[in-house]
Structure 1
Amino acid sequence: MVFERLKANATALYFNLALCVFLLSYVLGPSAKLTNTIFYALIALPGALFLLKAPGRGLVKEPLVIGWLVFLAWFLLPAMIAGSWQFYKHILYTLLFVLVVAALTDPQLFRRQQFVRAQFWMLCGYIYVSAFYSWSSGHYLPGNRLALLPARLDNVVYTSAWLVSALGLGMPSWVRGKRWIEGVAAVLLALVAVAFVLQTRTALVGGAFLLCLWLLYGVRHKPRLTARVLLAGAVVGAAALAIIYQQSWWHSLWARGDSYRGEILRIMLGEWQNCGWLLGCGTGFHTTALLAGSMPIMHPHNIFVALGVYAGAPALVLFVAVMAATLVYAWRFRDAWGVFLACSLVMLNFDGSLIIGNPDELWPLVLLPAAMVLGRALQAPNGRHRQTDKTLGQLA
């Protein structure tokens, strides 16, 4: 019994470290190749070996695991039609990541305040260090949009989305620990990073979503304090807006309109309809339509539409069902990873592609929080959902 317990603890410790190294590679690694190699060598291969043992066989007792299996099994059909062996590997990689994180890591570690705070400050530091370097080297001027970041996490939209989701995950820790200065500093630095440094309106939508959640929580539990904070925030916000209203970067932030998102949505829905609602256009599809007569469309810029275009309506329906079930689990457990997931899904309505593939930015934005919630579900005895403790879900 003691040996088995020590063996389980050693397994969890290994995969905890492997997952942390994997996440760090996004901000410290120079390329996608390193991140992919870390996943294959440290997570996928060892995880597959462990899951082939007893823990893996017992996972199918959890309904949410079955949902993931059915969702990913549907992609076997598009892979078969396309004759792409590479896509079979992508399906396997996605499944392994979700199951390894859910079943082989310690869920409590990734809910501790040390981790959730470190995740936010790691991303925040990455953005500001990159910005200061770009400004000092003359690559970009302050006020100009930082278009590209130096490490594996180079896409400014996904970076800002991860930052905002991490803010939602960390806020309960700051509130519960009465770390008011750190919490306010996190909000202000995230706002400046999103609006001034990266200038990504997608993340502003995510911030607005978080603000609505916080206000709903505050009105329900502490209405008077919430009213005072809201009034103070409105005054400070109005003063800040009066200062920056005539700044060129502020006008540039809004001058891009919807960045053709409406036209992209119309085109991709039309392509999906032409290919057929049931099976979509296939995993290797690329539209020939051009924006403004000259700009190619690289992907649908919507995680939900991407599923329909590449894999058909069943893939979209199954994904929505799995995500909805995951959010219900998170609500019952009062798990703030559900806030992280919901915030990510809101933002990926405007920037997102197919979630099945090699490790990319969608993995920490969607697969990671979904797997964390699944891990909490696997901890519940006899399959019954219970709130094991008041972790970070106070604002869920």
Structure 2
Amino acid sequence: MLLHEPVFIALLLFAAWAMLSLCWGPPDDESALSQFKPPLHIMLLFAGCYLLVRYRSEIIQPLLFSAAVVGLIASIYNLYMFSRLYEPGMRLIGGGAFDNPLLSSHVFGFFCAYWLSLSMTCKHRAMLWLSLPAMAVMFAAIIATGSRTPLVALTMAALWLGFICWNRRSIILLGVLLIGGATIGVLFSQMIIGRGDSYRFEIWQIVLHKIAEHPWIGHGFNASLSVDPGAGFTLEEPHSFALGVLYYVGIFGLIPWLFFQAWSLLSSWRNRVQPLFIVASTWLVFGIGAGLTEGGGILSRPKEHWFLLWIPLALIAALSINQRARRLLTIPVIPLTPTAFEQMTANARVIEEDGLGPKVLRLTDGSFLKLFRRRRCYTSGSFNPYSERFAVNSEQLRDMGIPTPQTLNLYRLKNGSSAVHYCPLPGNTLRQVLQGITAPAVRQALVERFGKFMAQLHERGVYFRSLHLGNVLVLEDGEFGLIDLADLRIYPSPLTLSLRQRNLRHMQRYTEDRRWLFEEHFEALLQGYGVIASKSAVDNLHRQVLAASLMAQAH
């Protein structure tokens, strides 16, 4: 899948050209293998991101949020310690691996860009009121470093956000940019202009002269760079990512380098319905802005430069691959006002309800509307609403040849709940069909077929946590289909024995399911399951059911 992604193909070309440039680079005491390690690290980052999005896409947003919270806490601590030691002219460096203010500002800016993008994409007011002060803390940390580059980079990221998210918040964001820019210009003018251009123009002029010596092929990936701008010390970086690429691998290397950045932004724009694309592209724009006047290493080991380029690119590539494979959300979520909701559900028949009201409604046109109410506390559903999981899971299962309902629309209600509007599958639940069968032999044959279907799910890595006879449909053509798909995960390999056991335990909770499947027709279930599954899986199922029966008899 990676080899079909334009961003990764461009990375391969870029890395291959960089390694080829070792042929005309200066002799190096290091082994050739050590030169191949940095691009290998980066390619493994891309592969890891792809696998993470492919098989655990639901944890990406909680994972990023948790990382940002850790970064926020660390930044608050760094600011507190800095305030205790502050003297005029002092710049915040930070603790741990931070060894200079500029590198610290890259990481602070990375998380500031995250909180900024979260404030533009979050749907819950509580998350908005958390992201705004968090962003202010990270911005204060950037100001404390005294670095000007991240201010430019954040401005670019904010403009990109306003463009890709265009809504009412975009207008507010643009207004804040104008007011904030004026305020920073007044309060921190000395920080901005006091250090002049920090020899940037002199550095770039010297580097451009060196680039002109080998403009097309560069000096080689392992070439050294020494720049003396007249400041009394020499520098080893061109203080520009683009100039670094030109110096080391020339124009031929610059072409794929520019391509994978431009293509990533274009892909993010096309898939802006998915919030993760917005976050990742905002990081990339921030990195592009930061790379205008800083850096220069083209294929680096894992360090702070990864925050500016490789992490955003790897995430965008992974998202693009899985979006094309329909493993991510492909349809927009539409806000549904109370008035529109009442009009849609007028004369609807309640199919399922609980103490809080209807959960599943059959609308007048025959379609269904399933409601997922907002939880009081934050869960993974706060980041990935169950209505969206329903739509994504349904699409994935259909691609695997398993019939599922067709999603028509996704809605976000004013009270924070979500809803999925879908066409029902034509058929009856397996529980209803078994209830209507009077002949034991016919029921036994149907249970055997269900055992085979369940084994197919397990062998293909489908873990349907809510699997029971009420969520399996017998279609008009006799095939099985699945409904109520919000609580489902697809693994890269057949399910482990423990996951299969958990699936069975869930079905054993229902009295009728237990009687038909695990008492009256258990041998038929095992026989059907054994057509697809291994003997060890069948034996494990047998042991678990017997153990559960003995436990029930003991009670």
Return the TM-score normalized by structure 1. 0.70
Q: Return closer, same or farther for 1:75/1:383 CA change in 2, 3 Å cut-off.
A: farther
Cα separation, 1, equivalents of 2:250 and 2:291? 18
Deviations 1:212-242 (A, max 9, x none): 2344467x422xx766676677668767876
Are residues 1:271 and 2:233 paired? no
Cα separation, 2, equivalents of 1:173 and 1:292? 43
| Contact 2:22/2:222, CA 8 A, preserved across alignment | no
Q: Return closer, same or farther for 1:270/1:371 CA change in 2, 3 Å cut-off.
A: same
Deviations 1:137-168 (A, max 9, x none): x4x5366212x332124343233233333333
Deviation (angstroms), 1:268: 0.6
| Contact 1:164/1:190, CA 8 A, preserved across alignment | yes
Deviation (angstroms), 1:330: 1.6
Deviation (angstroms), 1:318: 0.9
Partner of 2:498: none
* Count of residues in correspondence between the two structures: 321
Deviation (angstroms), 1:270: 0.8
1:41-52 to 2 correspondences below 5 Å: none
Partner of 1:176: 123
1:262 pairs with one of 198, 201, 211? 201
Cα separation, 2, equivalents of 1:230 and 1:177? 21
Cα separation, 1, equivalents of 2:325 and 2:177? 46
Are residues 1:166 and 2:111 paired? yes
Deviations 1:359-391 (A, max 9, x none): 121123211111111111221345999836668
| Contact 2:227/2:236, CA 8 A, preserved across alignment | no
Cα separation, 1, equivalents of 2:226 and 2:177? 47
| Contact 2:239/2:295, CA 8 A, preserved across alignment | yes
Q: Return closer, same or farther for 1:289/1:211 CA change in 2, 3 Å cut-off.
A: closer
Q: Return closer, same or farther for 1:326/1:386 CA change in 2, 3 Å cut-off.
A: farther
1:375 pairs with one of 308, 312, 318? 318
Are residues 1:302 and 2:214 paired? no
Cα separation, 1, equivalents of 2:94 and 2:301? 20
Partner of 1:211: 158
Cα separation, 1, equivalents of 2:211 and 2:233? 20
Are residues 1:151 and 2:87 paired? no
Cα separation, 2, equivalents of 1:208 and 1:383? 33
Cα separation, 2, equivalents of 1:378 and 1:229? 31
One-letter code aligned to 2:13: V
One-letter code aligned to 1:256: R
Using the TM superposition, name which of 303-312 and 72-81 deviates more: 72-81
Cα separation, 2, equivalents of 1:109 and 1:156? 35
| Contact 2:91/2:146, CA 8 A, preserved across alignment | yes
1:291-370 to 2 correspondences below 5 Å: 291-292=229-230, 294-334=232-272, 335-336=277-278, 337-370=280-313
One-letter code aligned to 1:323: Q
Using the TM superposition, name which of 351-360 and 262-271 deviates more: 351-360
Are residues 1:119 and 2:57 paired? no
Larger radius of gyration: 2
Deviations 1:321-340 (A, max 9, x none): 11111221122221121111
Cα separation, 1, equivalents of 2:329 and 2:248? 37
| Contact 2:18/2:220, CA 8 A, preserved across alignment | no
1:99-138 to 2 correspondences below 5 Å: 99-104=47-52, 106=55, 108-109=57-58, 111-112=60-61, 114-136=62-84, 138=85
One-letter code aligned to 1:168: A
Cα separation, 2, equivalents of 1:65 and 1:231? 37
Cα separation, 2, equivalents of 1:236 and 1:90? 39
Cα separation, 1, equivalents of 2:258 and 2:73? 33
Return the structure number with greater relative CO, CA threshold 8 A, min gap 6: 1
One-letter code aligned to 1:258: D
One-letter code aligned to 2:159: C
Query: By percentage of residues, which structure has more strand?
Result: 2
One-letter code aligned to 1:171: L
| Contact 1:268/1:300, CA 8 A, preserved across alignment | yes
One-letter code aligned to 2:91: R
Deviation (angstroms), 1:132: 2.8
Q: Return closer, same or farther for 1:293/1:61 CA change in 2, 3 Å cut-off.
A: closer
Are residues 1:61 and 2:4 paired? yes
Q: Secondary structure at the match of 1:66?
A: helix
| Contact 1:78/1:311, CA 8 A, preserved across alignment | yes
1:202 pairs with one of 149, 154, 174? 149
Are residues 1:187 and 2:135 paired? yes
| Contact 1:206/1:347, CA 8 A, preserved across alignment | yes
Runs of 5+ unmatched residues, structure 2: 334-382, 385-555
RMSD of the TM alignment (CA)? 3.2
Cα separation, 2, equivalents of 1:67 and 1:164? 27
Cα separation, 2, equivalents of 1:309 and 1:63? 25
Cα separation, 2, equivalents of 1:241 and 1:128? 24
Q: Secondary structure at the match of 2:212?
A: helix
Give the % identical residues: 19
Runs of 5+ unmatched residues, structure 1: 1-57
One-letter code aligned to 1:255: G
| Contact 1:282/1:310, CA 8 A, preserved across alignment | yes
